[in-house]
């Protein structure tokens, strides 16, 4: 992960800070928001101008099959993240986020480790991760930001139950016929036996819990020409039908860094009020 520390962090050893977890999209890694998103420059300027609170910003690698950005992963030094990143849409990242990332940050940095001082936001695939991490951890984040978010996982929400049944059936079959284990089929289907897919289930029930009481900010932003616009419209309709309040920012343009930088500039001053 890449971690942004605000000016003054090193000089004032007693001060603690709120934390924003900022997640990249498919094809990105822990460097994406700092490079394409200009997150460091945006944060430095907004904080210096007094337009947003000084904060720690954690930008983790969300590729479950790659340890780090190219050059930083000794196992795959030259492998670039895939834009067709379906392996990161099966619940592995979301289910490990609190224990492997949030807990680590709270243990190693001077954070304010409570819901009111913790935010999460992401673009595209990172929006999917943000949606379901916050949905499954309703006591963890008071500020949620979805930027051009995917709102459904790689399988499609309707397929989750079927896939879980397939996984359990395969698990039972392997126990009775252990010689069939191993190989690509086993590796693929075994994913469905884990609890990770439950991340995407019972959305209505989890929404009710997440919004009782509601987060201080639930922010959705999308471009008029973005290919995920319909997904975002459907998600907003679901929130409307449940009576859940949110802020919506619709811009021109599509699925681009130009928009995601705008959303970050609009989102940051709203945090930790």
Structure confidence by residue, pLDDT tens digits, 163-222: 555 555 545 544 554 544 445 444 554 555 455 788 988 999 999 999 999 999 999 999
Strand ranges for 137-227 from DSSP E: 143-147, 217-223
pLDDT over 90, % of the chain = 68
- Does a structural domain hold residue 128? yes
148 in a domain, yes or no? Answer: yes
More confident residue, 189 or 108: 108
Token couple for 240: 């409307």
CATH number at residue 22: 3.40.50.1820
Structure tokens given for 268: 């940051």
> Is 9 contained in some domain?
yes
Mean pLDDT of the chain: 87
Q: What's the pLDDT at 190?
A: 53
Structural domain span for residue 63: 2-156+203-270
* Residues 6+ away with beta carbon under 8 Å from 88: 26, 62, 63, 64, 65, 125, 129
Residue 92 lies in a domain: yes
The domain tally of the chain equals 1
The residues that bridge with 248 in the sheet, in sequence order, are 220
How large is the average pLDDT for residues 147-163? Answer: 73
Residue 147 lies in a domain: yes
Asked if 26 and 125 count as a contact pair (C-beta separation under 8 A), the reply is yes
pLDDT at 131: 98
Q: What is the pLDDT of residue 60?
A: 96
Residue 27 lies in a domain: yes
What DSSP state is assigned to residue 158? G
Q: Is the pLDDT of residue 94 over 70?
A: yes
């Amino acid at each position: 992960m890449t971690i942004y520390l605000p000016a003054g962090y090193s000089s004032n050893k007693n001060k603690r800070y709120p934390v924003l977890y900022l997640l990249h999209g498919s094809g990105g890694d822990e460097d994406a928001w700092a490079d394409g998103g200009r997150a460091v420059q945006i944060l430095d300027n907004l904080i210096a101008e007094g337009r947003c609170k000084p904060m720690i910003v954690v930008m983790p690698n969300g590729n479950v099959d790659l340890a780090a950005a190219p050059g930083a992963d000794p196992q795959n030094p030259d492998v670039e993240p895939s834009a067709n990143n379906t392996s990161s849409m099966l619940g592995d990242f979301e289910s490990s986020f609190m224990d492997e990332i949030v807990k680590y940050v709270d243990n190693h940095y001077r954070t304010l480790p409570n819901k009111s001082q913790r935010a999460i936001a992401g673009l595209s695939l990172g929006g999917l991760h943000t949606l379901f991490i916050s949905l499954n951890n309703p006591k963890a984040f008071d500020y949620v930001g979805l930027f051009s978010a995917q709102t459904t996982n790689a399988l499609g929400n309707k397929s989750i139950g079927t896939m879980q049944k397939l996984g359990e059936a395969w698990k039972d079959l392997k126990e009775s016929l252990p010689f069939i284990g191993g190989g690509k089929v086993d590796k693929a289907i075994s994913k469905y036996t884990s609890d990770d897919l439950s991340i995407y289930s019972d959305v209505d029930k989890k929404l009710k819990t997440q919004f009782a009481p509601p987060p201080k900010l639930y922010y959705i932003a999308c471009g008029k020409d973005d290919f995920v616009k319909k997904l975002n419209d459907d998600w907003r309709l679901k929130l409307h039908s449940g009576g859940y309040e949110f802020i919506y920012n619709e811009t021109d343009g599509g699925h681009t860094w130009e928009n995601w930088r705008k959303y970050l500039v609009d989102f940051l001053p709203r945090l930790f009020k």
